[in-house]
Each structure stands twice: as C-alpha cells, then as structure tokens.
Amino acid sequence: MKTLLIIDVQNDFMPSGSLPVPNGDEIVPVINKIQGKFDLVIGTQDWHPKDHISFASNHEGKSNFDVIKLHGQPQTLWPNHCVQGTDGAEFHPDLNTEKFEAIFRKGTDKTIDSYSAFYDNGHLKSTGLAGYLKEKGTSQLYVCGLAADICVYFSMIDALNEGFDCYFIDDTSKALDTKEFKTLKKEMITKGIQIVTSESL
C-alpha cells in the first residue's frame, strides 16, 4: 500500500506563526494536489502542553534557540508553539484534511521532546504509528511537511528503521534551516531514502 504521511502542516509553522518555517505555506496547495495519488493519507500534529520542557519560556534565563542538556542529550529550546487547543496547533486552514484516515499527535509528554512521528527523541514512547501502518499493509511511505530538517527528517529515519521503503517528496516540504538541510539530504540518500517530486508520483 502506498501511504502519504503529512507532517505538522500547522499554523505555528507558517510565516505568521510563532516558529515560522520560511515559505512553509507554499507547500499546502501542492500537498492538496497529490493526496489523490495515495491509498492512505495520514496527518501528524505537534501537540504540546503549555509547560513543555522544550519551550525556552519554561527555563529561567534562557532564550529561544539556546541549547541545553536534557536527559543527557542536547536540546534546542524553542519558542512556544503548537500548544494543545490553540489556533497555532491547528492545521493550516487551506490544507485539505478530508482524506486523512488518521491523525497522530506527538510531543504530548511535557518531559521530553518529540520530533519524529513514530517516537519521542529518546525512543522511550511510541506514538503507535508504525504498528498502525503495518496493520494497514503500508509498504511504501511517502513523507512531506514541516519542517523538513527536523520533524520530517527524524520521521523518515524512524520509518527506515521500522522497515518501510521511504520516499521524501522534496517540493512538498520546507526546511527551517535550508543550509543544514542540504547536508541532511545527502545523508538521507546514503541511508536509502529516495528523493522524489510531486510531479513524479
């Protein structure tokens, strides 16, 4: 089964949001256009409690994008974003969600950050997505969304480790740090992720 996984196309990651991904809104019409090419469409949402440990506002004396040690790992401190129940956590209003068969929410545990759609950053807690996709018979997993260098990237790495054939749809994703993402794309190819475009689907 050919599945489309749409990562975090939420208001707070749009140009007017609290953690804007450059030109993040440009991918919305392209994602809408390609959904009909897939047997299964799944969405994810960052869904943080307001006291989430990754928010700089919850660390006295720290600023947005500072890096601290958390559970023995480096942790970037982010602006408050995608707080549960807020408008910023909602999908972009123009995103067509009618074909979404399920929505998986991540980052719900206030004590640990969760970039991947499959696991938190410490691989301590599963979202259940891998089991869901396997039960549905997914073999080919196409991934897109925001941000390409963070949540999309880590979702694809976990997808590979879960045994899925993984494809990255380049023109339906935008990176927070475009320079860093050029390096990550080379790494993705080395790991076996195939990079495609919406026109080639």
Q: What domains are there in the chain, each with its CATH number?
A: 2-49+81-200 (3.40.50.850)
Sorted by sequence, the CB contacts under 8 Å of residue 158 that are 6+ apart come out as 116, 117, 118, 119, 130
pLDDT at 70: 86
pLDDT at 122: 87
Amino acid letter, 180:
E
- d(CA 144, CA 43) in angstroms, rounded, equals 10
The Cα-based distances of 90 to 75, 112, 138 in angstroms read 25, 21, 26
pLDDT at 115: 96
- d(CA 22, CA 87) in angstroms, rounded, equals 19
Beta carbons within 10 angstroms of residue 13's beta carbon: 27
Instruction: Fill in the DSSP letter of residue 97.
Output: -
How far separated are the first and last CA of the chain, in Å rounded?
14
* Catalytic residue set: 8, 106, 151
Handedness of CA 56, 60, 66, 70 (dihedral sign): negative
User: What count of Cα atoms within 13 Å lies in the side-chain half-sphere of residue 178?
Assistant: 7
Ranges of the chain with pLDDT below 50: none
Q: Phi first, then psi: give them for residue 34, nearest 5 degrees.
A: -95, -10
pLDDT at 5: 98
Work out whether strand 73-76 and strand 67-70 pair parallel, antiparallel, or are unpaired: antiparallel
Handedness of CA 163, 101, 173, 13 (dihedral sign): negative
